[in-house]
Structure 1
Amino acid sequence: MKILQRYFASQIIKSVLFVLVAFLALFAFFDLIAEINSVGRGAYRLRHAFIYILLNLPGYIYELMPVAVLIGTIYVLARFAANSEFTIMRASSMSTLQAGWILIKIGLIFLIFIFMVGELITPYTSAKATAFRDSMLLRDMTPGKFRSGIWSRDSIYANGLEGEVIGLRFINIGGLRTDRTIRDIHLYEFDLHQQMQRMITASNGRYLGSHQWELSDVTEEIITAPGKKGETRFPASAPEFKTKKADAMTLLSELTPDLLTVLSVDATLMSAYDLSVYNRHLEANSQDATAYKIAFWKKIIYPFSVFVMMGLALPFAYLHFRSGGISVKIFTGIMIGVLFMLLNSLFSHLGLLNTWPAFLTAILPSIIFLLFACGALWWVERH
């Protein structure tokens, strides 16, 4: 059995790598075509486009690996069946359960690889790719979908970042630069009764560490309540404004450059740790974190989809065609892989729209395909 394990592993790993490289070349070509329109803008040149595409490749590896595992495994098993190798293995007392156990142990290698790429490599390279491209195009990292910049909500505590919550702060940032400084800052602070207490505007902000920001060119407007409570006659009931100007001031906030960077990077390319940190930030400030919860659970569950893909590939070893067998099986595998990716994306949107539990939304596509794999395996065993 150890000999069969090594034989299966060597053949499947080589086939999966070949399929993965082919996919990466195809997607890199599509990206290059898309980037041609940006070449020549600012300092962005063709060599920069190649660097940007190269930095994005780990993200494609993470997304395409389960499909590559499916196609590569189908190719190997179909070739075993076409050469009657799988028949000989079965005649030598290898059961379906043993074949599945062999594939599971090979799948562990791919699972660890996907997890490392998704947690350690992709978040770093994706952020670098976005920052590099924006710096060459001479623009901020602010996501284009936010015309008014980045909005965030922050809590104000009695003792810095600890103690009782005494108010809320809404933060609007015009742009996040590639050096992680911010510009065009507007702060609106409210008490717990939704009464505005202070407005602050600043031209620039620099992160000092330990949740401290240094704001420059600051204008602070302090709003005080009317002098006579219950008075409805204007202007006695009007609040009083006091304006202060300063060259710089220090702001203590839960917001950090890492949290701001979340908004400029696709959630699917973030690490599970970053997603969990941002989820806690949103929940602490009573904001909707459904989309990021779904992304977090998908990040946890997605590497395990290689087992589902290998389960889907195993029945193909039992199917025999007289002609065109391998090509038909590979085409079927490609269609199943595309369907899995589409269904995975579809369930994310359905879960978000229908407020399904995040864990259920993330795991449902894998469960559906796993049941299909078990059904297909039962059918080929019976026939």
Structure 2
Amino acid sequence: MIKLLLRYLAAEIALCTGFALLAFTGLFVFFDLLGDLGNIGKGAYRFIDVVIYVLFSMPGHVYELLPVATLIGGIFAISTLAANSELTVMRASGVSILRLTGWLASIGVVFALLTAVIGEYIGPAASKAGNRYRVQATKEVLVGDFQSGIWVKDGKQIANISAMNPDMTLDKLRIYEFAESQRLARIIDARGAQFDEARRDWALRGSTVTDFPADQTRVAVSAVDELHWKTSVNPDMLAVLMVKPQDMSMRALARYIGHLRDNAQDTARYELALWTKIFYPVACISMMLIALPFALLQRRSGNVGIRVFLGILLGVGFNFLSQVMGHLGALYRLPPPLAAGLPTLLLISLAAVVLWRQEKQ
């Protein structure tokens, strides 16, 4: 009997959460579609390309909206059960507030795991694929992403960039230049590069040039102190390829933080993004727990719409507080676990206090 009630409650919450997630995601996708229509006509960018790019952004929106959808779905499902006296029947069957809280926490864990999987695997992969697709369509430059770095084809040149730094400087790049007959004419190896705004090209540092003459008599290798790379690849194009920290997986963030530490660079921004990734799925559990007090208040008021509206305000407030704490954490150098976890901890504390007061009454 108890297992049957748990399955019934979980099915109702999952159904309502699914509808809420579908509605919110559809709204965000619609606005993304409107916002990207202005890029039609750039290069070979067509309406179908806009649709494909927006579809690539959907997993990221699902990841961002899943905790809020969990709250809305939980409030609507439990409030409906309370309005139909089904929650009263459950209580009469021996389901205590403590047990009901445990059920909701276990359901929240399932949503938290789903959020973590989307944020760790599906979302980052879709974001990178969407960015590459958009660059290819708008800039008409071929871009690939392999273990050896990023590959860019521009006319008769193919460049391999090992790493792009947040300030848009490049580390360890190799440029292959081909002659008209598709013959390899030159290889340029450079330790790094910085974009020269005045010349509109890249200033290479620590360059080694290997020339392959047409007669193939002798390969010439020379070191060049100052060399400029003429290409249509600019920082704006590379910025599209550089995934934002919040769109990166935890594994990628951890690797990049290690890279920054090895090079004595600031890691605060990426550490904050990593801890946000860790705490964000936990928000699904707190959202599910906070939904129960709304249902208990439902006994005094039959208006489910008010409960859902208050839940939306609470979800929006949670997202707003998370963003504010992210900015404050970066500005005042707060410990990343504190800045990232405080909104979730506050929500769990609020749920615990409200449940305790309801039980006391």
- TM above 0.5, yes or no, is yes
Contact map agreement 1:59 1:126 (CA 8 A) in 2:
yes
- Shift in Å, 1:88: 1.8
Q: Which runs of 5+ in 1 are unaligned?
A: 155-168, 176-182, 189-198, 203-216, 223-242, 246-259
Divergent runs of 4+, >2 A: 139-142, 169-175, 183-188, 199-202, 217-222, 260-263, 320-324
SS in 1 for 2:281: helix
- Shift in Å, 1:200: 2.9
Contact map agreement 1:149 1:174 (CA 8 A) in 2:
no
Contact map agreement 2:131 2:241 (CA 8 A) in 1:
no
- Shift in Å, 1:334: 0.3
Contact map agreement 2:72 2:312 (CA 8 A) in 1:
yes
The equivalent of 1:171 in structure 2 is 192
Question: 1:355 aligned to 333, 341, 361, which one?
Answer: 333
More displaced stretch, 59-68 vs 371-380: 371-380
Question: 1:326 aligned to 296, 301, 304, which one?
Answer: 304
The equivalent of 1:265 in structure 2 is 243
State the AA in 1 paired with 2:139. L
Structure having the higher helix fraction is 2
SS in 1 for 2:88: helix
Kindly indicate whether residue 310 of structure 2 is the aligned counterpart of residue 303 of structure 1: no
Matches of 2:35 and 2:17, distance apart in 1:
27
1:43-82: per-residue Cα shift (whole Å, max 9, x none)? 0000000000001000001000000000000001110111
More displaced stretch, 334-343 vs 110-119: 110-119
Contact map agreement 1:220 1:244 (CA 8 A) in 2:
no
TM-score (norm 2): 0.76
- Shift in Å, 1:320: 2.7
The equivalent of 1:69 in structure 2 is 70
Matches of 1:294 and 1:92, distance apart in 2:
46
- The total of aligned residue pairs comes to 301
- State the Cα RMSD in Å: 3.1
Structure 1 residues 171 and 110: alpha-carbon distance in aligned structure 2, compared to 1, 3 A threshold? same
Q: How does 1:149-164 map to 2 (within 5 A)?
A: 150-151=168-169
State the AA in 2 paired with 1:171. G
Matches of 1:276 and 1:122, distance apart in 2:
17
Matches of 1:357 and 1:262, distance apart in 2:
29
Matches of 2:320 and 2:104, distance apart in 1:
25
- Shift in Å, 1:244: 9.6
TM-score (norm 1): 0.72
1:173-209: per-residue Cα shift (whole Å, max 9, x none)? 559xxxxxxx965454xxxxxxxxxx4388xxxxxxx
- Shift in Å, 1:382: 2.2
Q: How does 1:11-90 map to 2 (within 5 A)?
A: 11-90=12-91
SS in 1 for 2:298: coil
Matches of 1:244 and 1:150, distance apart in 2:
18
1:260-285: per-residue Cα shift (whole Å, max 9, x none)? 88972121111000000000000111
1:21-49: per-residue Cα shift (whole Å, max 9, x none)? 11111011101110111112110000000
Matches of 1:382 and 1:323, distance apart in 2:
19
SS in 1 for 2:192: strand
SS in 2 for 1:137: helix
